[in-house]
């Protein structure tokens, strides 16, 4: 058996597939795996959206309280 056909005992991790071609290693991710950076970006966007919703809610609530307070003083 030639060295090219010999089995490699070092198996790659399950989330990557390695191909060897002309002494170059090309690593491709499987399509079902997600990048941790993209997940962190989504989490930050969700927190930012929630923060904006909370700010809007408290702003509306504060204006209602101030309006009722002004009306009640007259």
Tell me phi and psi for residue 57, to 5 degrees: -60, -50
Using DSSP's 3-state secondary structure scheme, residue 22 falls into coil
| pLDDT band for position 1 (cuts 50, 70, 90) | very low
Q: Which pLDDT score, from 0 to 100, does residue 34 have?
A: 80
Dihedral angle computed from the Cα positions of residues 38, 43, 45 and 47, in that order, rounded to the nearest 10 degrees: -170
Tell me the per-residue pLDDT of 4-60, one tens digit each, with 9 for 90 and over: 455 455 555 555 555 555 666 666 656 677 889 999 999 999 999 999 999 999 999
């Amino acid at each position: 058996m030639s060295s090219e056909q010999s089995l490699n005992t070092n198996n790659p991790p399950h989330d990557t597939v390695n191909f060897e071609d002309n002494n170059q290693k090309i690593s491709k991710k499987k399509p079902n795996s997600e990048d941790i950076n993209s997940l962190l970006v989504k989490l930050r966007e969700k927190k930012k959206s929630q923060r904006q919703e909370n700010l809007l809610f408290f702003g509306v609530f504060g204006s209602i309280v101030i309006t009722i307070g002004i009306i009640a003083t007259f």
